[in-house]
Chains A and B, each alone.
Chain A
Amino acid sequence: MNSYRSRISLFTLLVFVFALLCIPVAAQEAGFSSVDSFRVWNLDEYEAETGSTIATFNEAPMLAERVASGDLPKLEDRLPVREDIQVVQPREAIGTYGGELRYNATNPSTFGNIGWSAWDQHLAGLSTNWEVIFPNIAKSIEFSEDNTVVTITLRRGMKWSDGQPVTSDDIMFWYENIMLHPELPNLPSSYIVGGQPAVLAKVDENTVTVTFATAYPGFIEIIARTDTGFPIAPRHYLEQWHIDFNEDAQAKAEEEGYATWIEAFEAHRGGQIADFQIDPGLPVLKPWILLSIDEFGNKIYERNPYYWKVDTEGNQLPYIDRQIRVLLSDLEVVKLNIQAGDLDYADKLLISDLPVLRAGEAEGNYTALLFPTDQGATRKYQFNITVGDPVLREIFNDIRFRQAMSLAINREEINETLFFGLGIPRQWGVSTNSPFYEDWMSDYYAAYDPEQANALLDEMGLTMGSDGIRLRPDGQPLRIVLWDAIDNIRMDELVVEYWGDIGVATEINPSTREAQVAALLANEVHVSVWFADVVAAIDMHTRPIWFRPPYGLDTTPLGGGFAWRTWWLTNGAEGEEPPPYYLEQMQLADDFLLTSVGSEEYFELGQQLVNRTVEQMMHIGTVGEVPYIYVRSNRIQNFPSESTIYIDHLRGAHSDQWYVTE
């Protein structure tokens, strides 16, 4: 039995631990190194490991009042069974109760605003720097020896935020009545392995098994992250909108103003993960519950009296009474709010905002933190290898062209001009923190060498015209259009200038995402610029989007080859068969997904995948490992330090153990 009850490291530090995954590893034995002292245990393990006892449990004064007035059960009755309570060792110190936090969100349903990611709860959790995956909502997650059967055990006596018990029926409700229901969303693709969907079965009140057709050790990462569904739902609450449980569900939906029961059901279920919840009545397992949404769309959250974690002194978490998600669509307004001290933590800021943020620090009583990132590039330029224009298609598919375009870029200057020299001028790829990083990658065609770039283009037969614009094989001037839907104009202007210097006339087309996606699907886009995240090891192991055609999300096929991807996903029923090289690449990416983290194949296939993609020059990076700015009020304590690596929105920040000092 290969146990995840204990902590398992994910990064290179513990690479060898992975090789030994068949042996149960206890955290203390593994001696994992964490960036800070944030730790979690189940209470019985905590007491056994440390020898200390948690004699009594304490609660926030606002809850104590409600208990005294009789509208809330006693704390002991609200927490799970004693041994099953999760004990959290706070990052710096035991906190004090009270206070509220305000954070920003761009629009009502945007992903990527980090407020919530610091407090979202999943079956498994992540330590600060994602060194460790630990059981979170689940008390334990155990993999069978062959990694095909996963046994999930829930915490006994754990309760939803309305006081109702959490049982395996809630998982089965998600599986049988939502995922398997023909009219509701299908099982996410991360639950389909080897062409077969996972099969869930109830063992007892607290235990469920998940069975896969083939070994799937990567499942542990899937249930630690938001992107791929939240496999548990409060049946007792949601069944009133479900047609299987309520014959009048359709009438009820119409009464509430929805067209179908499905719409109503999905609306009430929405926001189980992230903070998109719109029904304040939906029971959750998060530290704060949605109290109300005001007329401006701001959401007010208040502590969950049934939250199932305590600190090492027995104080029920969270420490902070309220969180307020403030809707601010304009980044300038966000900055003004930060400067005025009206936001307690904020992100989505740009490096160019640093002077303004630093200038307001004293007055706004906040700190602009710079987190190292796990990205080999901040932005990258991608040529569409299946562009509709046949002449351009031939040019873009010639690797010498992509090499030349990369050599033409003066990365040093971009770094100094746009990033205050804070980044590293380098080629796109995985970061130096990644186990798949090799030294040649940063420098791969990343030197500023217009001469060689010109030589490569000359060699391709793209002769220079008299007006300084090269000629395509058909005699037309080589003019291309760069699509930018991510407001990266300043860097584009520099890149376009460099490209113009070697005779490739480039026009910037600042566009909207919708317009660009439409043009991509029609294969009209020549080259585009996009974000370059999802390259951290754990990220690419769940979503290798940059490493296989269409070298982007299926919904944003930046690199082209969308028809190939369709062909692949439909087993050849639709789309176009990819050329052998790209077919191999897709097979490689899929094989990599099935490997066990830390296994020999994991490293071998991962390395191959990364090497091949970098060598293809499908992505041209400019500056990488640029710090991510995170603003936090000096009132907040137990906040991650600047040595925290920024991966996917500080999911390891754990705001339930933050506290505020006035």
Chain B
Amino acid sequence: MEINSMPQSAVVNLKTEPAYEILSQRQLIWRKFKRHRVALLSFYALIALYAIVLLAEFFAPHGAFERHSSHLLSPPTTIRFVDAEGVFHLRPFIYRMDNELNRQTFQREYVEDTSEKFFLKFFVEGEPYKLLGFIDSNIHLIGVDEPGIFLPFGTDALGRDILSRLLLGSRTSLFVGLLGLAIGFVLGLFFGGISGYYGGSIDLFVQRLTEFLQSLPTLPLWMALAALVPAEWTPIQVYFGISSVLAIIGWTSLARVIRGKLISLREEDYVMAAHLSGVSERAIITRHLLPGFTSYLIVYLTLAVPQMILGETALSYLGLGIRAPAVSLGTLLQDAQNVQTVTLSPWLLIPGGMVILIVVAFNFLGDGLRDAADPYRHS
């Protein structure tokens, strides 16, 4: 708010204050960032996405595990404005899809029953849920009256709504990886920081530790970890456990880069000046050294998030990640990796589009942030 209103306030300030203003580092970064339109758009899109998936149960038309046993492998419901008689309706509506199993081809053939229109409504009652884990509700954002069934992205083989599963699955994918990432990030900063800043025997120790951890082969390690995981853990706990352990082992590359940056930066004159002025070491690291490579950190983080999401899919392949029946983008895609999906039920591939959108958005965001945060880059 304050930032957006800056130009006006600057004008106002012209009369009363000197004709310049002092912008903080943060304000400078934001100004630059705003100029990168795509990045800004990605930024808002991701915020909106995180908000939607947090409240997924409300935004989803159905429950993620709610089965519509009369609508197995249903194609997406077509949203219409013009009815079978050619009459235009301002309010969108759907027809109910009826299906019959063809005993020769074993495909379920869906036909629209045009005898009754079901208008789309806001705030429809449906499957009950607990919002954010504690608010009891059964209101869904969009839906239709019974017996109409609104399946905007179609259903899977058990008759579960793909859109609802997509929203819930995105939540898993967007959040679970972040926790592991955060652990790795903090560790990388800490070990890289002390190693680069203090040098000497600390550096020696941290570097040997880094080498040791880097020499561990990941695949056998994952397998060993998978065997150690207690059987009663839910698949999500398993995935979180494994990604945390991976993060605990995987901070090394980040630590190496930070150490290198620190070693070069700590010899700079301004650091020496800070030392001589009696600035505490903590302040030197956080105020003088860290900002010197914030851009690197931001890029590292924003690129690591989509990597975590893609990594989740890869882990699922090895049977180590999130496994069905838990819902994540990875498991939804796994469900779609078959000839049947490609040739007969392509709507199961929609989660793939979601993965692409998320990864692309994060990459643009990282791109914009890097440009904005790099103090040596002037546009």
Q: Which residues of A contact B (CB under 8 A)?
A: 332, 335-336, 339, 352-356, 358-359, 413, 416-418, 420-421, 479, 481, 483, 489-490, 492-494, 496-497, 507-512, 515, 519, 524-525
Contacts and interface: CB of A to CB of B under 8 A. Distances in A.
B123 interface: no
A356 B159 contact: no
Interface string B323-347: 1110000000000011110011000
A589 B175 CA distance: 54
A176 B231 CA distance: 47
Contacts of B352: none
A335 B69 contact: no
Nearest to A510: B323
Contact of B158 (A420, A490, A524): A490
Interface in B301-360: 319, 323-325, 337-340, 343-344
Given A352-B340, A490-B157, A492-B325, 13 more contacts: A332-B337, A355-B105, A356-B338, A356-B344, A358-B104, A359-B343, A413-B69, A417-B157, A417-B159, A489-B325, A493-B158, A494-B158, A497-B67
23 contacts: A332-B337, A353-B340, A355-B105, A355-B106, A355-B107, A356-B339, A356-B343, A358-B105, A359-B343, A416-B69, A417-B72, A417-B159, A420-B101, A420-B106, A481-B231, A489-B324, A490-B158, A509-B231, A510-B319, A510-B323, A511-B231, A515-B227, A525-B231
Interface string B53-77: 0000000000001010100100000
A583 B192 CA distance: 65
B121 to A, nearest CB: 28
Contacts of B231: 481, 483, 509, 511, 519, 524-525
A507 B235 CA distance: 9
State the majority secondary structure of interface residues on B: loop
Contacts of B340: 352-353, 355-356
Contacts, number: 74
Given A352-B157, A515-B227, A508 B339 contact: no
B269 interface: no
B234 interface: yes
B344 A507 contact: no
Contacts of B234: 507
B85 interface: no
Contacts of A483: 231
A335 B67 CA distance: 28
B102 to A, nearest CB: 9
Contacts of A511: 231
Contacts of B339: 332, 335-336, 339, 356
A359 B107 CA distance: 9
Contacts of A490: 157-158
Given A358-B106, A417-B69, A510-B319, A496 B325 contact: yes
Nearest to A331: B338
- Across the A-B interface, give the 8 residue pairs with the lowest CB-CB distance, nearest first: A354-B106, A510-B323, A355-B106, A355-B107, A335-B339, A489-B324, A356-B340, A358-B105
Nearest to B72: A417
In this complex, the interface size class of chain B, counting residues with CB under 8 Å from chain A, is 20 to 34
Contacts of B343: 356, 359
B136 interface: no
B325 A493 contact: yes
Given A332-B338, A335-B339, A494-B158, A507 B105 contact: no
Nearest to B160: A493
Given A421-B101, A481-B232, A524-B231, A512 B325 contact: no
A457 B325 CA distance: 26
Nearest to A515: B227
A491 to B, nearest CB: 10
B297 to A, nearest CB: 37
Interface in B67-117: 67, 69, 72, 101, 103-107
A586 B157 CA distance: 42
Interface of B: 65, 67, 69, 72, 101, 103-107, 157-159, 226-227, 231-232, 234-235, 319, 323-325, 337-340, 343-344
Contacts of A525: 231
Given A356-B343, A490-B157, A507 B69 contact: no
A326 B49 CA distance: 46
A353 B345 CA distance: 13
A416 B107 CA distance: 13
Contacts of B323: 510
A646 to B, nearest CB: 18
Nearest to A507: B234
Nearest to A410: B69
Contacts of A413: 69
Contacts of B338: 332, 335, 356
A525 B234 CA distance: 15
A302 to B, nearest CB: 32
A355 B72 contact: no
The residue among B69, B106, B323, B343 with the most chain A CB atoms within 10 A of its own CB is: B106
B158 A417 contact: yes
Tell which of A336, A355, A492, A519 has the most Cβ of chain B within 10 Å.
A355
Nearest to A361: B105
Interface centre among B65, B324, B344 (most CB of A within 10 A): B324
Contacts of B325: 489, 492-493, 496, 508
Nearest to A509: B231
Contacts of B235: 510
Contacts of B101: 420-421
B324 to A, nearest CB: 5
A159 to B, nearest CB: 45
B346 to A, nearest CB: 13
Contacts of A524: 231
A356 B65 CA distance: 26
Contacts of A497: 65, 67
A358 B343 CA distance: 12
A403 B131 CA distance: 36
A417 B155 CA distance: 13
A120 to B, nearest CB: 30
Contact of A507 (B227, B232, B319): B232
Nearest to B159: A417
A358 B234 CA distance: 38
A400 to B, nearest CB: 24
B318 to A, nearest CB: 10
Contacts of A335: 338-339
A420 B157 CA distance: 11
A332 B336 CA distance: 11
A263 B340 CA distance: 44
A68 to B, nearest CB: 47
Contact of B105 (A339, A359, A494): A359
Contacts of B226: 515
A561 to B, nearest CB: 20
Contacts of A479: 232
A295 B343 CA distance: 32
A84 to B, nearest CB: 48
A510 B324 contact: yes
Nearest to B232: A481
Contacts of B69: 413, 416-417
A354 B227 CA distance: 35
A647 to B, nearest CB: 24
A510 B157 CA distance: 19
Contacts of B72: 417
A353 B344 CA distance: 11
Given A417-B158, A492-B325, A496-B325, A512 B319 contact: yes
Contacts of A358: 104-107
Nearest to A357: B106
Contacts of A421: 101
Contacts of A515: 226-227
Nearest to A514: B227
